[in-house]
Structure 1
Amino acid sequence: MDVELEIKKIQALLHDPPEKPIILGKIGHEGRAKELMLELGLVDEASIPDDVRTADHISSAADRINLPKHEHFIADFCGNPIIKHPLSAKEFNLKKLPDDTSRITASADRAIINLEKKYSGDKEKLYLALWRELFGSLMDKKNDVAKLGQLWELLPADTRIPDHSIWEHKRVTSAIAGALPKLAFLLFAIGPVQDFIATARKTQDLWAGSYLLSYLSWSAMKLVAEEFGPDSLIFPDLCGQPFADKWLINDKNLEIAEPELEKLSSPTLPNRFLAIVPADSVRDIAENAKKQVQKIFHEACYAVKDAMEARLGIELDDWEHIWSRQTADFIETYWAATIFENMKDIAGFISEYKQLMGVADKWAFDALLSAYKKGFAPNIGTIYGQIYKLTEKALGSSKAVRDFKQQDEPNHKCTLCGVREPVHPGLHNNKDCSKDFGALRGFWQEKVLPNFPQIRKSERLCAVCVTKRLSSRHYFKEKLQFNNIDDNFPSVSMVATASFKLRVIENINNNNLAVKVGCFVDAVDALAGDRCSGIPIPMVIRACRDEISKKFARLEGDWLYKETLEDKETLWEENKNKMSEDDFDNVLLTAKKRWKELFDAIKEIDKTLPDDKRIGSPSTYYAILLMDGDNMGKWLSGENAPTIGDVLHPIVKNTLEYDQNWQALLKQRRPLNPSLHLAISKALRDFSLHVAREIVEKDHLGKVVYAGGDDVLAFVNLRDLPEVMRKLRAYFSGCLVADDTTNKIAIDFKEGEGFIPVDDSGEAINVGSGKQIKGFMLSMGSKATASMGVVIAHHNTNLSQVLDEVRKCEKEAKKLRDKNAFCIALAKQSGGTEQVSAKWFYDFGYEGQGGIFETIPLFSQWADAFYYDYISPKIVYALRTETIGLEKLPAQAIRLELLRIAKRQWKKKKEKESNEKVLGELVSGIMNLHAGGLSLDEIGKFLSVAAFLGREGTR
């Protein structure tokens, strides 16, 4: 950016002071804006130039409902401070605000002066600080003498239409100001996405593929941010994004906090972005972004290539040719732009839009446009929604006609993707690796495997797959100075055994257990060396209070299974170059003895513990979940936006309801606007960065692979699966309420506020926690839903198959009407899969009690009944065989039959009265599922999965 653009963006970001809705009608806001510019050091530039005014008008037209001029609408924000959730339109009354504006303006003054002191005279830093730091500076207790706290974030741009804040308006104004005089709307996307991520044999591959794509996306976004400022990107929201913060610190020298390591290590950026840029530059910036993505991918691939060459001593043409052939055109990019040659020709654009999009004669937007003409004259901002939809369609078309450059891949195939040839030097032991499989296998086992422990025995990888496997260590750490990046990932056996490890650690000082644990870990270390340790689940390592516990937490989960130590052939193959066969036999025998001693000690301890506290044995099963927001395309296109009437201040709405010209318009969807895009982007950013990981890794036994906004892929220990599923779904939509007396957070899918309470560190507060609420994060709101696929799999099952299955489950969930569903599959090692789909909740109640009925709590209740052995798992078979033909009977008859079957399988025969109550509740619950559309056979599958979880999930 040049200095002129930096000044213009500063003027745009301050053209409305942050306190405008509070001082409106009391202090001239334009004069106040100039005061803030002077405080920031803009002496000669303390004004609002014409192009910033133009940008303001366009931004206002894009975000606001163009109300009729003949009505004088007044919505006094201090006297009646109403705000609306931008996506659900839920109304919040903030109660009366202070009339004294002096403390409020003093807060803004202090915040601005603080930034001026930090970056005095540096226009670029001042602009970036206004974008990134001003809100935080306002909330700083040293500056916030008005004590508005996070209310600063909610102050509306227009008090009559309080569904978007002054911050969104100013950012959009800055983006437009930087692109004038002619705007272009640029959509840019990277592919292939799903195939690249899904090709995985190790959990590490999943993370690495996601992370590399996220970083490639950032490399394209960074190019736009460097040229036109980070606020030129409408989505995703880069403010507070770890890659962006790292850029601001390293390249721009902003004095902000370093992003947390785990967040910097998380793939959280989507593979696409929308930006507003100058029309004259759009082609250059798109093509440069494309080149940048290809350059970074090439850098990553060749950093891995160079590392392999250095260790393996390779400098051969065949090796070079394979790398060049496989990586040159692998990453695809697409872009589309809508360009305005004549910014005032709105009618011409609308006419062309109708033709290109096949708009019907009676188009609702025509009526709204006619009404708008009675207010301020419509401009290009008025048709923001149509511009976006046209650009989106153009991007889809560019993908459909992309140039396929598929290379003919000869010879043997990569063991990971099965598509490309494994990389090799041409000859190994004087044999041709292309033709002789033994030579290829020998190169990978004899040369690659000893030098790169990340490679598994029997693996032979192509250039793309080996880049995924090794790029974190040989590119991100060394080339990008992410020296402490958390690049390793727990194996599925670490996930499966996490609850067992946690129980052992909790009892480490019980009956000399620490000695047994330490001896076993040492014995495995003598046998396995580097393969002894893995990456622990975060919650397990946090529970450790001594070195023995930490070593046990890091013990690779496979070693806790007896069969691992029984596989003598494999263990000898891994050790034959390290020790003699006699030494190996002794080390293996010692490890087996220590294993038995450990588990014998655990059995003795369990005799002294209550049922629900016993250590037990490690589970061999784990869960993987894939959650995806429903209808995100409709949200981004405005099809799911609230109605116009819903987003208006009640005073304005009530007035317009008496206007015949507006009565029908109030029922129309609110036109798509940039602030809605920013709100979606912000909600998804916070969910991916702050919420998903908090739920999965801090509050439960799990590990997030990626959280890219509306989608989450995570591994979860079976103990915590139901709660993780339920919380991810509830927090995605902000379906949470806080108890005013206890301060505790509860899930409420009916009355949820649409915001996520946070503690004083800015992290989401867990359900049931009594932590003091210090603020909130925006969520997608209660009208947005998400669906989830879940697979419970054995730790030895091929990971690629499990990934395929979880995607199928997610698709099955989305087949349910109106979605908002989950599909869970149990893939038993013995063969066969039980799969059932259901809604997260049903808005009804059996026997007419009304309200919301949740499915997951019922699932947990049945699992508990099986765990505590209150009811026999035989009920599953009995229900599925004895209810055949009952579907058409009245609900009460079915309920009585289910109750009869349940009573017969109930084991806890004492306390007859309480038994009947519990049984009645369990049966009423499954009758709710039946009323919601599940067949009796599907209910049998539901109970089958619950029975398995009850028995296995507590191991």
Structure 2
Amino acid sequence: MAKYMVLFQIGPVQEFIRAARKTQDYWASSFLLSYLNCQAIYAFGKHNVVFPQVTSSSFFDNALKSTSFWKGVSDSAAYIPSVPNRFFGIIESDNPEKQLKKAKEAVYESWKKNLSENVLKTINNKWKSVIDVTLWNDQINDRALEILYVWREWDEGEDYGAAYRATEALMGARKASRIFPALNPQTGYACSLCGLRVALGSSLVKTREKLRNWWQANIREKFTYRFREGEYLCTVCTVKRLYPEVVFSRAGDVPSTSTMATITWQKELQGLLTHPSLTQEEMKNLQKCLNQFRNEAKTAARQLSEPETASLPPYFAHLKIKTDQLLEVEGDWLIPSWYQHRERREKAKAALESLKKLKETVTGLVAKVNKAAPSAPIRVNEPPLYLALITADGDNMGAYLASCTQDEHQKISQRLQTFATEAVPEVIEHDRPGFILYWGGDEGLALVSLADLLPALRALHEKWKRVVLNGQDKPTLSAGAVIFHHQYPLRQAMREVFQTLEYAKSLRSYNREKDAWAVKILKRSGAPLLTRAHWHYDHEGTTVRPLELLNKFIDAYQGEKLSPRWLAALQAEERVLDDPPDSWKKPEKENWWDTAKDLFDHEVKRLLHRQASEDWKRSGGLDQLVSQVQALNQVISGIPPQRNLVRYQDLKGMLHLSHYIAKGGGR
């Protein structure tokens, strides 16, 4: 029997991402693809699969169990989508297509019977069979999944890397020559979420308004809080919205963007609740205020037909905090402006008053604690309105794998599996209150609070070096992140974060490419702010780490060692310091680069000294910061002939980023 290299892929990934309106939608789409690929790998034969390595994957093992098993699963780690939507394998067979078809059939079998049919049965039990089964089956069978696969004979005498490249090229050709089956035309109103298929109920009504009313009466009232007012979805989007609850007993366990934005306040509140300097009476009073607000918020939520509780990140479960010490409410309830909506002013008035009382109590206790121990101050600032979305991706993975032997490929696959299932959850969900939407192998997506953004980026890179690189220098990792308001459209934030990752990967300097991070701030008003840098630079015998420097600025602002007025003064001199315009010729740009670089060093030193505290100056901390900023200027500027002609944009973006995080974002 001959040996064959095979590639198998389940899609459409981009369609699922574009259709995500809520964090729950994105997680559900990612979990769905991971779950279905597990069925494909099992049917194909996991011992034949090189990537991803699933021999030690608990997610893979759980995905093969019956749906009744999931009803008893409470560990959040079991729900992290950690298997990519494709697999690469090597099989010895006379007919590799037969095994690939078997994998495809397993995917459709699970999609139809385990997921779709269970959702349809639940709907019909609640609605007494009002669903158009013909439309349902048409969309489930023919308009949902796109499964592609290729195979190529491999003689072991042929170079493994060259054969792998050729197999990837075959998949590229297969994607470019998609064969679309003839489908009956769809009539009715398009799904309000994806816009690709007709919404359920369209055949029963004649106007869009009547369709909304039909959904309100038949769906929203039956599945509380699963659908927004005015939504009308197709079969596929309905299954994606309901299957987590119906099949896996996981209803609304994904934190919303407002909860993730305000989660730092909840984390800081826990530090105050357990602070040793508080008296029993003070702790009792604080707990009383917390309980009163929680009860008032739940009462108002019932009157407003809003969810009474909300899911928090797994971080708090890992700490084993008592339930009565947590505010398991949507983050919106912690934001005073949210109460100004006309429907909430009266019904939520008592909740707002109890929130004000809670915050006043917290402010007083923080002041008391800091007065007693000024050397170790604590903070419980106003709940932030901004959060961050992080994505990462291994650099040049295709080229790296094409240089591997089969044994090396299997080893890197195992290390990537360990990174995705152990290292990333530790960084995002154990060490801080973040949430993983998806992480498979070298790529993923996660939500973190604004305050945790830079530490999380640093920690992910450190884990990558230890777990994946394992003493080697390749493959490197690049990451992108966007900071956005909790009411900003999630699907747009998704697009922005992937664009930001590409901006990081476009960095070229010091004979290096990629191996970088980039952050974009999506302000509610004004132009976005974008910055990027390599993870580290070697400079005159020392190592410059931009993220560490930004954290020092944040500590200086928050510790009142440095006034942000120095940054405003620097910006006032932008005409002199700014990057040369595109209309200039190259010699003029290079002359400007030399002058502006030296001028920046001088002005940074002068302005920082003017706005720093005297105690910090005497301690030597300021001089150390100045020298680090000047070193950063040198490495960001580049070395001739590799001049960075957007030097000031990158530097300004970094300096503003540190201040933006220090003040808790915008308002």
The answer to whether TM tops 0.5 is: yes
Specify the SS of the correspondent of 1:884: helix
Which runs of structure 2 are paired with 1:481-520 in the superposition (5 Å)? 488-508=253-273, 510=278, 511=282, 512-520=285-293
Partner of 1:391: 167
Which runs of structure 2 are paired with 1:136-535 in the superposition (5 Å)? 181-225=1-45, 230-246=46-62, 261-299=75-113, 300-317=115-132, 320-325=134-139, 327-339=141-153, 380-381=156-157, 383-405=159-181, 408-424=185-201, 426-427=203-204, 432=205, 435-453=206-224, 454-475=226-247, 477=248, 488-508=253-273, 510=278, 511=282, 512-529=285-302, 531-535=307-311
- Closer, same or farther: CA 297–779 of 1 in aligned 2, 3 Å: farther
Q: Is the 8 A contact 2:518 2:531 kept in 1?
A: yes
- Confirm or deny that 1:560 pairs with 2:325: no
Displacement of 1:892 = 4.5
- Closer, same or farther: CA 420–613 of 1 in aligned 2, 3 Å: same
Scaled by the length of structure 2, what TM-score is found?
Answer: 0.86
| Structure showing greater Rg | 1
Aligned residues with identical type, % of pairs: 27
What is the aligned counterpart of 2:487 among 796, 799, 808?
A: 796
Distance 1:513 1:261 in 2: 30
- Closer, same or farther: CA 778–245 of 1 in aligned 2, 3 Å: farther
Which runs of structure 2 are paired with 1:588-607 in the superposition (5 Å)? 588-607=348-367
Q: In structure 2, what residue type is equivalent to 1:416?
A: L
Deviations 1:467-495 (A, max 9, x none): 211111223x2xxxxx5x68721111111
Q: Is the 8 A contact 2:18 2:194 kept in 1?
A: no
Distance 1:929 1:305 in 2: 59
Deviations 1:900-927 (A, max 9, x none): 1222333557754636424423532432
- Confirm or deny that 1:695 pairs with 2:427: yes
Displacement of 1:701 = 2.0
Q: In structure 2, what residue type is equivalent to 1:718?
A: L
Displacement of 1:609 = 3.1
Specify the SS of the correspondent of 2:594: coil
Specify the SS of the correspondent of 1:607: helix
Displacement of 1:260 = 8.9
Deviations 1:13-67 (A, max 9, x none): xxxxxxxxxxxxxxxxxxxxxxxxxxxxxxxxxxxxxxxxxxxxxxxxxxxxxxx
- Confirm or deny that 1:673 pairs with 2:417: no
Q: What do you get for the CA RMSD once the two structures are aligned?
A: 2.8
Displacement of 1:856 = 0.6
Distance 1:458 1:382 in 2: 58
- Closer, same or farther: CA 381–778 of 1 in aligned 2, 3 Å: farther
- Closer, same or farther: CA 598–316 of 1 in aligned 2, 3 Å: closer
Displacement of 1:450 = 1.4
Displacement of 1:272 = 1.7
Q: In structure 2, what residue type is equivalent to 1:218?
A: C
Distance 1:308 1:460 in 2: 15
Q: Is the 8 A contact 1:602 1:616 kept in 2?
A: no
Partner of 1:951: 663
Partner of 1:727: 459
- Closer, same or farther: CA 953–326 of 1 in aligned 2, 3 Å: same
Distance 1:249 1:218 in 2: 11
Deviations 1:734-779 (A, max 9, x none): 1xxxxxxxxxxxxxxxxxxxxx4xxxxxxxxxxxxxxxxxxxx875
Distance 1:446 1:248 in 2: 36
Partner of 1:658: none
Q: In structure 1, what residue type is equivalent to 2:262?
A: T
Displacement of 1:854 = 1.0
Q: Is the 8 A contact 1:871 1:908 kept in 2?
A: no
Scaled by the length of structure 1, what TM-score is found?
Answer: 0.61
**Structure 1: runs of 5 or more not aligned:** 1-180, 252-257, 344-379, 478-482, 573-584, 639-671, 735-755, 757-776
Partner of 2:581: none
Displacement of 1:499 = 1.5
Which runs of structure 2 are paired with 1:443-842 in the superposition (5 Å)? 443-453=214-224, 454-475=226-247, 477=248, 488-508=253-273, 510=278, 511=282, 512-529=285-302, 531-543=307-319, 545-550=321-326, 552=327, 554-569=328-343, 571=344, 585=346, 588-610=348-370, 612-638=377-403, 672-734=404-466, 756=467, 779=470, 781-817=472-508, 818-842=513-537
Distance 1:838 1:385 in 2: 31
Q: Is the 8 A contact 2:7 2:168 kept in 1?
A: yes
Relative contact order, higher structure (CA 8 A, sep 6+): 2
Q: Which moved more, 1:444-453 or 1:486-495?
A: 486-495
Q: Is the 8 A contact 1:309 1:315 kept in 2?
A: yes
Q: In structure 2, what residue type is equivalent to 1:876?
A: L
Q: Is the 8 A contact 1:624 1:792 kept in 2?
A: yes
Displacement of 1:327 = 4.7
Distance 1:527 1:833 in 2: 36
Aligned pairs, number: 619
Q: Which moved more, 1:416-425 or 1:514-523?
A: 416-425
Q: Is the 8 A contact 1:683 1:780 kept in 2?
A: no
Partner of 1:79: none
- Closer, same or farther: CA 404–683 of 1 in aligned 2, 3 Å: same
